[in-house]
Amino acid sequence: MKTKKTAYPYLLWMLLFTIVPICMVAYYAFTDAQGNFTFDTFISAADYSQVFLYSLWVALISTFICLVLAYPLSFMISRCDEHKQSMIIMFIMVPMWMNFLLRIYAWVQILQNYGPLDTLLNFIGIDVTLIGNSGATILGMVYEFLPFMILPIHTVMSKIDNSLIEAAQDLGASRFYVFKNVVFPLSVPGIISGVTMVFVPTASTFLVAQYLGGTQFMIGDVIERVFQSDHHTGSAIALVLMVVILGFLVFMNKFGDEEAVGV
Amino acid sequence: MKKLSQKIYFGLIMGFLYLPLIYLIAYSFNDGKTSVWKGFTLKWYVALFQDSQIMQSLYNSLLVAFLASLFATILGTLAAIGIYNFKGGYRTVVQTVSNIPIINPEIVTGVSLMLLFTMAGTLFGFEMGFVTVLLAHIGFCTPYVILNVTPRLKRMDSSIYEAALDLGCSPIKAFFKVVLPEIMPGIFSGMLISFTYSLDDFVITYFTRGSKFQTLPIQIYTMTHQRINPKANALSALLFVAILLILILINIRNNKEAEKSRA
């Protein structure tokens, strides 16, 4: 029990399968096909900066929609009795267990031209293309990651004691004041982890845009495409993505700590 | 949820989460390939079970998930014990590196491992396939085992282990008789998470599988990419029923345990 030796196999494992692969991405990103040091890979990678910004934009919008949908729902769930809460949370998690490709594939079927929704809208005289655009991609992302927003916010909210809210109300606080000064500050840690858990996978996700977004690919799709022909440029894009995501995580972490001190 | 408006909102979100799944399941019984209802049939289920490729990839997925969760559990439990005995800054570094596969975008992990396996393949003369997929899966499962076992170790009273040694137990025997039962719930949940993550993984498998090895998510991708395939609907329906059964069983077990601890 007092031994450190049992961790040694895993230290070796991490070296081989975590550190070395990341170093290889960095190595490929800074070299050309002959193995000479170069920045040209990043110049080729800059061709995809539009896609990169588009991915961050989709992630931002999807995260915002998830937050707006999940926040009131999480509060409502947290005010139910305990047994009912765990039942509801279980039913929110069931779709998450389904393979993500099948869930996206379900939306492909629903949104496709001459599909059920399209037929219905045509019937009442609205003629729009539902699939093959940013809207469909964002819908897919929200569907995919909404539970990741609900769960952490619900966890912190279920710890807010009803008597705290009642005390504020007894002291004459209006409903808005109770929300602003009691419920919201206490729920901030949940919001932060929810935003992180939705934003990171959305920004880097792969295939959802290929299924729903038509030709508007996201950065994950681009990395896969580029890697098929050019490991060096592909590595450069992957490296930039990794640095941006890690920067975002550090930022959210710091933000979270400061907020927690403020509360 | 007392008010009608709250009930409606809750109903809308649940509808949003479940309608796509209901659609998938309903159309698995449709005697036609489009969204037009042509009558009830079970032929897609028959076709599903007769498709030897799908059955083979199901078997591959289960095999990889079983082996990956087994190895990850052993590697991770030993690592958690060793890391627990590390001191200060060293421990923080090891824990941070260990979490890289969790926080890094999946696609970056995928391509980095592909670079490693491709290079090792040319050096030692092998092709990516079952073994590389298994290694990759062990790699992203082990951190989850560590994250589940470590809190159990921290909560454990280390004097129990010392008492066992004082009473004449060998360290090995004391580990199996005293430590293991204490941390068992953490090991078990780590293993369960590993199994489900491995079974469900698409992105990392996609980059490490080579050209021949198929798992179920890869098979789902080939079935649904850019076309509608009712066999995928039938597969969804079966997976949905399996997931529902497992979750209900887990819930019943948890409720029984909660009752036991109350009594």
- CATH code, B204: 1.10.3720.10
Domain count, chain B: 2
B79 touches chain A (CB under 8 A): yes
Q: Are residues B211 and B233 in the same domain?
A: no
Q: Which of A19, A76, A95 sits opposite B97 (nearest CB)?
A: A19
B113 touches chain A (CB under 8 A): yes
- pLDDT of the residue at A192: 92
Place A119 in a pLDDT band, splitting at 50, 70 and 90.
Answer: confident
pLDDT tens column, A173-222 = 888 888 888 889 999 999 999 999 999 999 999 899 999 988 889 999 99
Q: Which of B135, B158, B240 sits opposite A17 (nearest CB)?
A: B135
User: Please, is A77 exposed, middle or buried when counting C-beta atoms within 10 Å of its C-beta (0-12, 13-18, 19+)?
Assistant: buried
Q: Is the confidence at residue A261, as pLDDT, over 60?
A: no
Task: Name chain B contacts of A76, Cβ cutoff 8 Å.
Answer: 1, 6, 9-10
Place A239 in a pLDDT band, splitting at 50, 70 and 90.
Answer: very high
Place A256 in a pLDDT band, splitting at 50, 70 and 90.
Answer: low
Place A260 in a pLDDT band, splitting at 50, 70 and 90.
Answer: very low
- pLDDT of the residue at A94: 87
* Residue range of the domain that includes B239: 1-41+229-263
Question: Does residue B70 sit within a domain?
Answer: yes
Average pLDDT in the B236-245 region? 88
ipTM of the complex: 0.87
Place B253 in a pLDDT band, splitting at 50, 70 and 90.
Answer: confident
Inter-chain residue contact A106 with B76, CB threshold 8 Å: no
Residue pair B236/A94 in contact by the 8 Å Cβ criterion: no
Q: Which of B21, B135, B174 sits opposite A95 (nearest CB)?
A: B21
Q: Name the residue of chain B whose CA is nearest to A20's CA.
A: B116
B105 touches chain A (CB under 8 A): yes
Kindly compute the dihedral angle of the four CA atoms of residues A45, A51, A54, A59, in this order, to the nearest 10 degrees.
Answer: -80
User: Which one is predicted more confidently, A59 or A35?
Assistant: A59
Q: Is the confidence at residue B53, as pLDDT, over 50?
A: yes
Q: Are residues B85 and B129 in the same domain?
A: yes
Inter-chain residue contact B35 with A114, CB threshold 8 Å: yes
Residue pair A249/A196 in contact by the 8 Å Cβ criterion: yes
Q: Which of residues 159-198 of B touch A (CB under 8 A)?
A: 161, 171, 174-175, 179, 196
Task: Name chain B contacts of A78, Cβ cutoff 8 Å.
Answer: none
End-to-end CA distance of chain B: 30
Given the structure tokens 């990889």, which residue do they identify?
A: B64
| Residue B127: strand, helix, or coil | coil
Q: Name the residue of chain A whose CA is nearest to B254's CA.
A: A86
Instruction: Specify the DSSP element, H or E, that contains B260.
Output: helix B230-262
Task: Name chain B contacts of A90, Cβ cutoff 8 Å.
Answer: 247, 251
**Measured distance CA(B253)–CA(A59) in Å, rounded:** 38
Average pLDDT in the B33-47 region? 84
Inter-chain residue contact B108 with A25, CB threshold 8 Å: yes
Q: Burial letters for B191-207: b for 16+ Cβ neighbours within 10 Å, e otherwise? A: bbbbbbbbbbbbbbbbb
| Residue B40: strand, helix, or coil | strand
Compute and round to an integer the Cα radius of gyration of chain B: 23
Place B168 in a pLDDT band, splitting at 50, 70 and 90.
Answer: confident
Task: Name chain A contacts of B78, Cβ cutoff 8 Å.
Answer: 6-7, 9-10
Q: Are residues B197 and B238 in the same domain?
A: no
Q: Name the residue of chain A whose CA is nearest to B20's CA.
A: A106
- Rank A94-98, A124-128, B89-93, B142-146 by mean pLDDT and report only the highest: B142-146
**Measured distance CA(A93)–CA(B42) in Å, rounded:** 28
Q: Are residues B19 and B69 in the same domain?
A: no
Q: Are residues B182 and B142 in the same domain?
A: yes
Residue pair A157/A145 in contact by the 8 Å Cβ criterion: no
Q: Is the confidence at residue A255, as pLDDT, over 80?
A: no
Q: Which residues pair with B30 in a beta bridge?
A: B40
**Measured distance CA(A42)–CA(A146) in Å, rounded:** 34
**Measured distance CA(A247)–CA(B73) in Å, rounded:** 31
Nearest Cα neighbor of B85 from A6, A2, A9 is A2
Q: Are residues B180 and B246 in the same domain?
A: no
- pLDDT of the residue at A215: 85
Instruction: Specify the DSSP element, H or E, that contains B13.
Output: helix B4-27
What domains sit in chain A, N to C, each tagged with a CATH number?
46-262 (1.10.3720.10)
Residue pair B10/A90 in contact by the 8 Å Cβ criterion: no
